Amino acid sequence: MDVFATEKNRAVRRSVREFCDRHIVPVAAAVDREARFPWEVVEKMGAMGYFGIQALPELSGAGMDTVNYAIVIEEISRACGGLGLCVTVHNSVALYPILAFGTDEQKERLIPDLALGRKIGAFCLTEPNAGSDASAIEATAIPDRDHYLVNANKVFVTNGGVADVCLIFARTDPAAGRRGISVVIAERGTPGFAVGDLEDLSGMRANPVSSIRLTDCRVPKTNLLGREGQGLIIGLNALDTGRIGIASQAVGIAQAALDEATRYAKERRQFGQPIGRHQAVGAMIADMATWVDAARLLVFRAAACRDAGRPFTRESAMAKLYASEAACRVTDLAVQIHGGYGFSRAYAVERFHRDARVTRIYEGTSEIHRMVISRSVLED
């Protein structure tokens, strides 16, 4: 029982769960198998407001707070990790930075289409030689009268294959080091903007993760987000919020695995009784349920801190670290409880196990989060 949930939180959870059960769960296994981005479902999700969860209603958003945002992401991820990933990245590290750092003109021009899911957003930071060390990026956006001349090779771009609005991290002043990094918004269709092949990933296969290459791509200066040199500030700010989304995603996948494992442990009989009655399996279920609840509570704390306007970097890092590691443990035990069937693609836990793994890697690895948390604790 979640004693902290409000009537509104429950209304959001019920409505999203019902939507997912009706439209996403029936296709989740197939889109994973086919590595297909289900546009027919995504359009419906757009109409539900899932692509503008926290955008203001006057910009066609739903105007929800962060706790409700976390609930939406958790529920979508419970049905399909790849779509949960699409929605969290779109909302928190593509749309939100425009909302937080964009000019009025940029917001009015870009947010409504993003909030309604008519355009999909992406966050393009990672490069072949820059991952955890974001300041090592090599992309450049050289000012040229009223444009930037952008050259960038971005890899592992979530939503890359379908993204219309891409936040590109690039050096506008290559001599200025970390302070020369800026964010420019590149739109699909601009000459020089090319989407690479989709990655053949082990999990999150419904998400069209790809590389994006910009070659002498002329991006108008009106598409600079924030100020020149503000790139890493924008990036870190977006990732603080993004981590709450990834943590919610991990909770959703873990909850799905727990649900399947519990159902199976009640149905599957060995030695004359349901396997859940065997002490070893019961102990696994107990650990899984405890980890899922603990992860969710950490997510809600981080989200509530953000909603209260309080610092939440440490809280979101803890939520992301714990929830992603918990999701891997929970999905692993869900496979174990299913025995040989858990290793078969015919059973959903096999997919959850693959999907959970990357939550410990993207939007900051567990190792980076331990650095963030330890620094914060030691500086207290």
Partner 1 sequence: MRIAVCVKSVVTKEPKNVKGSRVPRNPEDCVLNPFDRPALSLALSLAGEEGEVIALSMGPPAAREALYEALAAGAHRGVLLSDPALAGADTLATSRALAAALQKLGLLNLVMFGARSSDSDTGHVGPQTAELLDLPLASWSLEAAPEEGGAFLAVVREADGFREALSLPLPAVLTVHHQARPPEDTGLAGIQEAFTQKTVETWTLADLPLDPALVGEPGSPTTVLSMTRAEKSRKCEFLEGDPQAQAVELTQRLKDKGLL
57 sits near partner 1 (criterion: CB under 8 A): yes
Which is closer to partner 1, CB of 47 or CB of 308? Answer: 47
With a CB cutoff of 8 Å and minimum separation 6, the contacts of 207 are 37, 82, 83, 85, 86, 158, 159, 201
Which is closer to partner 1, CB of 11 or CB of 283? Answer: 11
CB 211 within 8 A of CB 83: no
Which is closer to partner 1, CB of 59 or CB of 120? Answer: 59
Using alpha carbons, select from 267, 319, 261, 260 the residue that is nearest to residue 294: 319
7 sits near partner 1 (criterion: CB under 8 A): yes
Using alpha carbons, select from 161, 159, 163 the residue that is nearest to residue 197: 161
251 sits near partner 1 (criterion: CB under 8 A): no
Total number of residues binding partner 1 (CB under 8 A)? 26
Q: How far apart are CA 56 and CA 69, in angstroms?
A: 13
Which is closer to partner 1, CB of 2 or CB of 108? Answer: 2
Q: How far is the CB of 371 from partner 1 (least distance, A)?
A: 35
- Residue ranges in 69-98 that form contacts with partner 1 under rule CB under 8 A: 72
18 sits near partner 1 (criterion: CB under 8 A): yes
Q: At what angle do helices 279-307 and 313-338 cross, to 10 degrees?
A: 160
Q: Select the residue interacting with partner 1 from 30, 47, 194, 236 (CB under 8 A).
A: 47
Q: Please, which residues bridge with residue 165 across strands?
A: 121, 187
Active site residues: 363
12 sits near partner 1 (criterion: CB under 8 A): yes
19 sits near partner 1 (criterion: CB under 8 A): yes
Number of residues in the chain = 380
Q: How far apart are CA 276 and CA 272, in angstroms?
A: 12
Q: 191: alpha, beta or left, given left = phi > 0 and alpha = psi -120 to 50?
A: beta
Q: What angle do CA 162, 60, 94 make, to 5 degrees?
A: 40
Q: How far is the CB of 4 from partner 1 (least distance, A)?
A: 12
Q: How far is the CB of 29 from partner 1 (least distance, A)?
A: 21
Place of tokens 């899911």: 117
300 sits near partner 1 (criterion: CB under 8 A): no
Stretch that binds partner 1, among 46-54, 77-85, 177-185, 361-369 (CB under 8 A): 46-54
Q: Please, which residues bridge with residue 140 across strands?
A: 151, 171
> How do beta strands 121-124 and 165-171 pair?
parallel
Q: Select the residue interacting with partner 1 from 11, 30, 194, 377 (CB under 8 A).
A: 11
15 sits near partner 1 (criterion: CB under 8 A): yes
Which is closer to partner 1, CB of 68 or CB of 77? Answer: 68
Q: Select the residue interacting with partner 1 from 4, 14, 367, 370 (CB under 8 A).
A: 14
Q: What angle do CA 253, 243, 211 make, to 5 degrees?
A: 85
Q: How far is the CB of 12 from partner 1 (least distance, A)?
A: 6
Q: How far is the CB of 344 from partner 1 (least distance, A)?
A: 25
Place of tokens 């928190």: 92
Q: Select the residue interacting with partner 1 from 27, 41, 42, 50 (CB under 8 A).
A: 50
Q: Is 288 exposed, middle or buried (0-12, 13-18, 19+ CB in 10 A)?
A: buried
44 sits near partner 1 (criterion: CB under 8 A): yes
8 sits near partner 1 (criterion: CB under 8 A): yes
10 sits near partner 1 (criterion: CB under 8 A): yes
Q: How far is the CB of 170 from partner 1 (least distance, A)?
A: 34
Using alpha carbons, select from 289, 299, 293, 272 the residue that is nearest to residue 334: 289
Stretch that binds partner 1, among 9-17, 153-161, 194-202, 360-368 (CB under 8 A): 9-17
Place of tokens 């029936």: 26
64 sits near partner 1 (criterion: CB under 8 A): yes
Q: Which residues bind partner 1 (CB under 8 A)?
A: 1-2, 5, 7-8, 10-12, 14-15, 18-19, 22-23, 44, 47-50, 53, 57, 62-64, 68, 72
